[in-house]
Amino acid sequence: MIWNESKECMSRDEIINLQSARLRKTVDRVYHNVEFYRKKMQKVGLEPADIRGIEDIKRLPFTTKEDLRENYPFGLFAVPQSQVVRLHASSGTTGKATVVGYTRRDIEIWQECVTRVLAMANIGINDKIQVAYGYGLFTGGLGLHYGAENLGSTVIPMSVGNTAKLIDMMEDFNVTAIACTPSYLLHIAEALEESGKLDKISLKAAICGAEPWTENMRKEIEAKLNIKAYDIYGLSEIIGPGVAADCQFHNGLHIYEDHFIPEIINADTLESCEEDEVGELVFTTITKEALPLIRYRTKDLTSINYDPCECGRTIARISRFKGRSDDMLIIRGVNVFPSQVEAALLTMGEVSPHYMLIVDRVNNLDVLEVQVEVEERFFSDEIKKLESLNKRIRNVLQSALGLSVKVKLVEPKTIERSQGKAKRVIDKRKNLV
């Protein structure tokens, strides 16, 4: 039995009718409550009544992260502060932090979305789940926490920072599920192996997200830990984790279309993409009260498909993320995403999923060096074996990227482990003038 069949298995007509009604309400509310939207709509001669349904969504102007920054902290809020029960904020590493707010109803909706994600991963009241996303302004910790509590699972609010303790509790409490970034889960897997506790744990499922990861990485994690790993997507601006997630068929991430209308656009022309064509994901929130967002450009690159899934859900699916448009590296004119490197590396049995991309400019030429961790034994073997592995990796990467790269094989544990979002790229060109 699917946990919320009535919301996830509607016919396309029912979805469109529901989205249209909610969109009309949202547009009306932002027009009357948020000066920013009123001015933007007036500029293009739009009134709320012009938006009759989702067929008119394309007439509405886009919203961007810059708009949120320019209206920092609360300029885009659509309710008075007295109705805001919680604030979260992005880290602001690339500029001023973006602040997001929630009414009590928003929190309930967010909670329900995360609950649906967990139910989709077959997690229930008999599960004990360690939430090992950061707690605090980041939406990962509290987002997963309340979703799991709402579902009725037993929540262990680990946060990040103490892997040894996490492992002890995993063993002592018979933890059955964990929510954390995929890179942190790899680190946990490594630590479990080292401590000899890998076969003493009862873990069966992981809910991983907050950063791009490939299908190969998902399978690698499943094999290492003998568990099922699921992909959860979300972003603070839209609500936090729980905007979309995959089911047991791992055939794309189901979007909760009763709350968020997705669009895929060509980032250059801003025109809509065809079904299954990769472009930038855009969301309009249709139930959020405190911070409704109209056609918010996520910068995340994916494609959309409307065919019903094998699991029975009819809500649209987005494909695994290729990355973010601002993560794309241009190396000697070739577009490279870190996810392509990861996918290619993990097709080879002998390399670990720990890698780093270092981009530099030498004699006016871009150079991409890929550092990859390989097992200790390669370093103790004769040098020939190391050279031959290096060559094989170079060839695999060259055919995957269409670009020649330098490969540096490094010893286990050389590449920094992350407990939150992994940093996989060092672009030294940014420091050049």
Report the interface residues with ligand DLL, using CB under 6 A.
Answer: 90, 133, 138-140, 143, 209-212, 231-236, 240-241, 298, 300, 321, 324
Rounded Cα distance, 14 and 54, in Å? 12
Cβ distance to ligand DLL smaller for residue 211 or 366: 211
CB of 181 to ligand DLL, least distance (A): 7
CB of 306 to ligand DLL, least distance (A): 20
CB of 412 to ligand DLL, least distance (A): 26
CB of 151 to ligand DLL, least distance (A): 16
In 3D, which of 53, 92, 46 has the Cα closest to residue 73?
92
Contact between 254 and 120 under an 8 Å Cβ cutoff? The reply is yes
DSSP 250: -
Cβ distance to ligand DLL smaller for residue 211 or 220: 211
Question: What are the tokens at 205?
Answer: 């499922």
Cβ distance to ligand DLL smaller for residue 160 or 356: 160
Contact between 400 and 393 under an 8 Å Cβ cutoff? The reply is no
Rounded Cα distance, 147 and 112, in Å? 6
Rounded Cα distance, 406 and 54, in Å? 49
Cβ distance to ligand DLL smaller for residue 240 or 292: 240
CB of 64 to ligand DLL, least distance (A): 13
Cβ distance to ligand DLL smaller for residue 232 or 345: 232
Rounded Cα distance, 240 and 237, in Å? 7
* Closest residue to ligand DLL, based on beta-carbon distance: 209
CB of 380 to ligand DLL, least distance (A): 37
In 3D, which of 86, 155, 160, 151 has the Cα closest to residue 117?
151
Cβ distance to ligand DLL smaller for residue 176 or 298: 298
CB of 226 to ligand DLL, least distance (A): 22
Rounded Cα distance, 107 and 288, in Å? 9
CB of 41 to ligand DLL, least distance (A): 25
**φ and ψ of 400, to 5 deg:** -75, -35
Cβ distance to ligand DLL smaller for residue 143 or 262: 143
Question: What are the tokens at 229?
Answer: 């790993």
Cβ distance to ligand DLL smaller for residue 241 or 252: 241
**Paired residues of 410 in beta bridges:** 373
Cβ atoms within 10 Å, residue 81? 10
Question: What are the tokens at 367?
Answer: 């150079």
